[in-house]
Amino acid sequence: MSTLDEIERLKEQIQEKIGHAPTLDVLDKERVDLLGRKGALTALLRGLGNLDPEERAVIGKAANEIRAAAEALLEERKGELSAQALDQKLAAGRLDVTLPGRVTPLGAQHLISRIRDEIIDVFAGIGYSVAEGPEVELEFFNFTALNHSIQHPARSASDTFYLHDLSGDTHAGSEPSEVVLRTHTSPVQVRTMQHEEPPIYILAPGKVYRRDAADPTHLPQFTQMEGLVVDRDITFADLRGTLDYFVKEMFGKDRKTRFRPHFFPFTEPSAEVDVSCGICDGSGCRFCGNAGWIEILGCGMVDPEVFKHSGIDPNVYTGFAFGMGVDRIAALRYDIPDIRILIDGDMRFLRQF
């Protein structure tokens, strides 16, 4: 092949390989192969020395033109490929700032827990602290120490969940002791008095269990709040003043309380407390069953028998106790007609609070 033919072929190769290099990497490789120190064009120029002067001038000129054209083509292709690479990078990293943000659903406190904490806040403000006891409780603390006779109907297996028969075991002398799911928070009174010296001012919130079928006003598991005060010279007047204060803090300054005589085994005297109906203000309406009042809790002066089981000297100390249903208070606050909805877990209902 003549040298001119070789130059012609090289020209075509440059057009093809540099002009159509698919990527910047391939382009660089072609540059080395064609124009580099060991490349085709350099080899050709090296051979010029063997040619006669006339031919050398013609071929040399042609070769230099090729080099200049190749370098221009190289720059052009490089520019094209760089622009393409930048476009690709921009497209890949594109952000659509008009897309709506992603919403992460936030959890919140359950209504029952919130009301529980509100009640605690009211009493914490007048010096009460929180005490706790087990939900799986000895029959002794749940009934016996709270002065329930052996025949008391609440002890029956149709009212109370019995877990474990420990009969044979004895507690407090001769009483056979079984394990129950506590039916109220009152056993925390006894546990606290056994471990603490008066003055005692405590609240005991927690879950309780009863063998009740769920209906609009009952649940087999619900939440109670117990209160206990033991100190010198505590009277029924202290109990009335305390609960009156609580009702006004919880339901509003215009609400009144009414104490009705009642019976509880562990308090003497005992009372049930009603709050004036917030809908009719005491005149009677459908919400309060035309009574004008709504029952919210039980209370009374701690029975000396309970003090004896708890290691407190009834000749030195007196005290009062009260117990309320937190679910019931929540239902009253928000006019909820059926408390089963509180534990259904229906978010459409719960989100309202």
What minimum distance in Å lies between the beta carbon of 325 and ligand DAH? 8
Residue 141 binding ligand DAH, by CB under 6 A: no
Q: Burial letters for 43-52: b for 16+ Cβ neighbours within 10 Å, e otherwise?
A: ebeeeeeeee
Shortest CB 193 distance to ligand DAH, Å: 13
Cβ-based neighbours of 299, under 8 Å, separated by 6 or more: 227, 239, 243, 267, 270, 271, 272, 273, 320, 321, 322, 323
Is 209 or 293 the residue whose CB approaches ligand DAH more closely? 209
Identity of the residue, 278 or 323, whose beta carbon is nearer to ligand DAH in the bound complex:
323
Q: According to CB under 6 A, which residues from 308 to 347 bind ligand DAH?
A: 321-323
DSSP secondary structure letter of residue 145: G
Q: Identify the residue among 264, 293, 307, 317 touching ligand DAH (CB under 6 A).
A: 264
CA distance 350 to 106: 13
Q: Is the dihedral of CA 333, 336, 339, 343 positive or negative?
A: negative
Nearest residue to 62 (alpha-carbon basis) of 1, 2, 4: 4
- Kindly state the smallest distance separating residue 279's Cβ from ligand DAH, in Å: 25
Q: Which of 300, 303, 309, 312 binds ligand DAH (CB under 6 A)?
A: 300
Q: Which of 184, 191, 255, 309 binds ligand DAH (CB under 6 A)?
A: 184
Closest approach, Cβ 107 to ligand DAH, in A, equals: 30
Choose one: 7-15, 105-113, 118-126, 298-306; the region binding ligand DAH (CB under 6 A).
298-306
- Total of residues contacting ligand DAH (CB under 6 A): 11
Phi-psi category of 119—alpha, beta or left, where left has phi over 0 and alpha has psi -120 to 50? alpha
261 φ/ψ angles, rounded to the nearest 5 degrees: -55, 140
Q: CB of 186: closest distance to ligand DAH in angstroms?
A: 4
Q: How buried is 96 (Cβ within 10 angstroms: 0-12 exposed, 13-18 middle, 19+ buried)?
A: exposed
Q: How far is the CB of 319 from ligand DAH (least distance, A)?
A: 10
- Residues found near ligand DAH in the complex (CB under 6 A): 184, 186, 226, 264, 267, 298-300, 321-323
